[in-house]
Structure 1
Amino acid sequence: MVALALLAGALAAAPAYAAIAQSFVPPAANPSSTSTNYVGKNNGTIHNSPKVTGKAFDRFIQIWLENTDFATAASSPTFQKLAQEGLLLDGYYGLTHPSEPNYAVAGLGDFFGMHGDSFSAFPKNTSSVVDLLDAKNISWASYQIRYSIYPLLAIPYALTAASTDSLSISAPPDYVRKHSPLILTDSVAGVPERALRHRNFNDFAVDLNASALPQWMFVTPNLVDDAHDSTIDFTSSWLEYWLVPLLQNQNFNDNRTLILLTFDEAETYTQPNQVFTLLLGGALPQQLVGQKDPSYYTHCSTLSTVQANWGLGSLGRCDTNKTLANVFEFVANATGYKNNGLTSNSTKLPMTNLTGVFPGYANTEMWTPVLAPNVSAVGAGGGSVFVYPGTNTSLTSWSPQNLTAMGVTNPISIDPGYDYSNGSLVTAAAAPSSSSSKTATGSIAAATGKSAATSFAVPAMGVLVAAAGVAALL
């Protein structure tokens, strides 16, 4: 009955989206060409460290689409064609609703109780997959269609122009900050050499033509191309324009490239959050092309798979959760990692369509500081848990507080004011995004009678361990 009540609460929060019915219009002749429709200052070609060889692949590209039920994507001829060229992961699930917490998981390994799409800025010692990649000199970048790092990084929307790369819409803006998982933490947004690896699609074309694409990539289309504000047919047309030809481009897809095409979440909250997900690319073993893998995967698997491939450390969050973080099976086989044996047909899979019921730094009504990591956790890469120097590793528990009732602004909503408009970091005076005069952790500590750490530690697996412990409705 508790699970039913939690699910009912999640359903009440389910948003409604209006689909745009226009036809896709390509912004350029091909994806290797620049376009005047991609507004924003360009970064120029990035410079990468020498290639680090992985056990199963040398480049990992994630392409995330939006809010689509498994059956809807499966009905598209484009997705059917791509499935014949790749491996269908038909046991792959999003972790919660709505969109932003799923993106947070892909970059940070947890959603910290997040159950909305509002502005979020995690403290600077909140680690991300970037810390693990940088530790092994594995190059990375995040590409968003029209995004530019040069406007204020902290504003919720990086762009406000009405025209998009494919059609005209007046609202909302076609790119949103919440779809860039790494920029959610100040450990990336506040570090220029990291922040400037967030690039638009003109930068992508330049990097592609210069053979300068990095080894780890996160690709975000805009709100119409990704199916958020359009239809599966519209998104299919974008894929035919952008992804399909790139699969034949050696600078994008060589025999050591693995491509993940997925959705952040299912559209229907009553369903178990299964999303249509494909593995593509030259690194995929030939015997798997056109096949299905029923193994149970989640967005946590994107982290564990990368860790296993390159022998990385871990974040000590869902990437080390043995239930949620199965490594993609062919990579597990190549690295010797043992998965848990769960499949899409297993009974009592975790409920990953719940929202608003887990405490954490991003839940204002059930707020906790960012708790310390489980430093004894062992991830798929076998390395140690990454912990920022000075992290209070004894901060492992906290009684959730209702900051709204206390009249306190959640620190996650405070704009850190990072400005790259002149090509280097300028930090403006931080301004709270609500009218409350109580904004910082000191106010929270005073209100609760507890001693809050001034530098929050990175979290353990808390929220997603709890999610994994909620039994499925059977």
Structure 2
Amino acid sequence: MLTKYALLLGAAWGSVAARQPPKAFTAPAAAPTDQSPFYVGYSNDTITNTPYVPGKVFDRFIQIWLENADFVTALADPVFEHLTAQGILLTSDYAVTHPSEPNYIASVGGDFFGLASDDLIRIPSNVSTIVDLLELKGISWSSYLENMPTDGYQGYSYTNPDGYTYYVRKHNPLVVYDSVGMNATRGARLRNFNDFAVDVDNDALPQWIFITPNLLDDGHDTSVTYAGSWLNYWLVPLLENPKFNTPRTLILLTFDENETYTVNNRIFSLLLGGVIPENLRNTTDDTFYTHYSTLSTVQNNWSLDNLGRQDINQTVNNVFAFVADKTGYQNNGLTTHNLPLLNMTGTYPGPLNPNDYVSWKPPTNGTGAGGGPTYYPPN
């Protein structure tokens, strides 16, 4: 519980920007490993993780999602350019639709189920996610969401004491699935940035991590330049922190969607982390990827089961090439030509499309990149 003093500090931090997005980034703390009243609820101590489960190529996967930028716009920013020199730039990575929320839920559930809005939705508890696959193998996981007030928060949004709404549920994909959000044990793993600071300091980060900055820092209410300033404060020093970036850590810095809806949905995505070999740093990879590739790559790395959705669709589920090269997995050969259109908003039937409704379907039995069987929830 925050004290009155802490709440006043939080209000003071954002008082200049109350109700309006600021023009320039202001750091909420001295370092990303410090707690701050701006993040709202202080940490409830560390989470308990299972023993590390070694992967074929990496032992920790961290994805950091930013908002709404065309590939060339992000690439032109100096901070993104600096980071690109340290990793593998994915030149043919695509979001799967518009607007934001369906992309987020697709990345953890293997489908967006026809959703074409950012509405408050709940996906039934018998619809599985990456969490089910990870837990079957004993692989620890967590999401860290900037300015989410409490662990597992169910609200549509949260407005800080300064009067600005920094957190929105639509950028928190796992809470949308009742199998996670309505499960007390799993919901406790949806944590805020104060929890993150403590977990890093205690060397207690899990193996699979999803990170969502707030609406300013992800560029949604601001710009790519603003997001770059946040990355310079938050990510750049963490890349030098061995409790965050181990020699077996893979980091995906990506965007939910592009900004120009009239062209195919190419996004800026960059692979970073200690696991990237020196000879592949400051290189490019033109293999065709989508948000489903994050599922496939994780499945391939840990020999996981699959969800029986787009993660078994061999057109859109390519594994990141430097991982596939080490595991012997065969991608489909697509690069930059003859790609499916992934900007067709509202045209996909599904249980979340009121204009083209299709009832919830069980998973499709098939083989994914992990080689395991299709997972069917107990209920």
TM-score by length of 1: 0.75
Matching residue's letter, 1:389: P
Q: Distance in 2 between matches of 1:162 and 1:97?
A: 31
Match of 1:231 among 215, 223, 232: 223
Q: How far did 1:152 drift?
A: 4.9
**Which residue is 2:302 aligned to?**
310
Q: How far did 1:151 drift?
A: 7.4
What SS does structure 1 have at the residue aligned with 2:38?
Answer: coil
1:126 aligns with 2:127: yes
User: Does structure 1 conserve the Cα–Cα contact (< 8 Å) formed by 2:253 and 2:270?
Assistant: yes
Match of 1:342 among 319, 334, 358: 334
1:359-398 to 2 correspondence within 5 Å? 359-375=349-365, 377-390=366-379
Change over 3 Å in CA distance of 1:351–1:162 after alignment to 2: farther
What stretches of structure 2 of length at least 5 have no aligned partner? 1-19
User: Does structure 1 conserve the Cα–Cα contact (< 8 Å) formed by 2:152 and 2:191?
Assistant: no
1:275 aligns with 2:276: no
Q: Residues 47-103 of structure 1, C-alpha deviation per residue, up to 9 Å, x if partnerless?
A: 100000001100000000000111110110100010001110011010100000000
Q: Residues 184-243 of structure 1, C-alpha deviation per residue, up to 9 Å, x if partnerless?
A: 111001111100001000000100000000000000000010000001111111000000
Change over 3 Å in CA distance of 1:204–1:152 after alignment to 2: closer
1:187-226 to 2 correspondence within 5 Å? 187-226=179-218
Change over 3 Å in CA distance of 1:151–1:85 after alignment to 2: closer
Q: How far did 1:149 drift?
A: 3.6
**Which residue is 1:424 aligned to?**
none
What SS does structure 2 have at the residue aligned with 1:279?
Answer: strand
**Which residue is 2:92 aligned to?**
91
What SS does structure 2 have at the residue aligned with 1:248?
Answer: coil
What SS does structure 1 have at the residue aligned with 2:259?
Answer: coil
**Which residue is 1:429 aligned to?**
none
**Which residue is 2:12 aligned to?**
none
Q: How far did 1:30 drift?
A: 0.4
Q: Distance in 2 between matches of 1:362 and 1:162?
A: 34
Matching residue's letter, 1:142: S
What SS does structure 2 have at the residue aligned with 1:91?
Answer: strand
Q: Distance in 2 between matches of 1:233 and 1:194?
A: 35
Q: How far did 1:366 drift?
A: 1.6
Name which of structure 1's ranges 37-46 and 280-289 shifts more when overlaid on structure 2.
37-46
Q: Distance in 2 between matches of 1:108 and 1:349?
A: 22
Q: Residues 346-386 of structure 1, C-alpha deviation per residue, up to 9 Å, x if partnerless?
A: 2x2000011111111111122222111112x1000000111
Matching residue's letter, 1:141: S
Q: Distance in 2 between matches of 1:241 and 1:357?
A: 40
Q: Distance in 1 between matches of 2:227 and 2:31?
A: 16
User: Does structure 1 conserve the Cα–Cα contact (< 8 Å) formed by 2:249 and 2:274?
Assistant: yes
User: Does structure 1 conserve the Cα–Cα contact (< 8 Å) formed by 2:252 and 2:271?
Assistant: yes
Q: How far did 1:22 drift?
A: 1.2
Change over 3 Å in CA distance of 1:261–1:223 after alignment to 2: same
**Which residue is 1:117 aligned to?**
118
**Which residue is 2:348 aligned to?**
358
Matching residue's letter, 1:181: P
Q: Residues 291-326 of structure 1, C-alpha deviation per residue, up to 9 Å, x if partnerless?
A: 000000000000000000000000011111101010
1:255 aligns with 2:247: yes
Change over 3 Å in CA distance of 1:339–1:54 after alignment to 2: same
User: Does structure 2 conserve the Cα–Cα contact (< 8 Å) formed by 1:61 and 1:217?
Assistant: yes
Q: Distance in 2 between matches of 1:363 and 1:227?
A: 27
Q: How far did 1:40 drift?
A: 2.5
Q: Distance in 1 between matches of 2:122 and 2:60?
A: 28
Q: Residues 86-140 of structure 1, C-alpha deviation per residue, up to 9 Å, x if partnerless?
A: 1100110101000000001111110000000000101110100000000000000
**Which residue is 1:42 aligned to?**
43
Q: Distance in 1 between matches of 2:152 and 2:62?
A: 25
User: Does structure 2 conserve the Cα–Cα contact (< 8 Å) formed by 1:272 and 1:353?
Assistant: yes
User: Does structure 2 conserve the Cα–Cα contact (< 8 Å) formed by 1:91 and 1:296?
Assistant: yes
Q: Distance in 1 between matches of 2:38 and 2:130?
A: 31
Match of 1:175 among 161, 167, 170: 167
User: Does structure 2 conserve the Cα–Cα contact (< 8 Å) formed by 1:104 and 1:184?
Assistant: yes
Q: How far did 1:147 drift?
A: 1.0
Matching residue's letter, 1:156: Y
Q: How far did 1:42 drift?
A: 3.0
Matching residue's letter, 2:110: G
User: Does structure 2 conserve the Cα–Cα contact (< 8 Å) formed by 1:43 and 1:196?
Assistant: no
Q: How far did 1:41 drift?
A: 5.2
Matching residue's letter, 2:378: P
1:74 aligns with 2:78: no
User: Does structure 1 conserve the Cα–Cα contact (< 8 Å) formed by 2:151 and 2:191?
Assistant: no
Identity %: 52
**Which residue is 1:450 aligned to?**
none
**Which residue is 1:404 aligned to?**
none
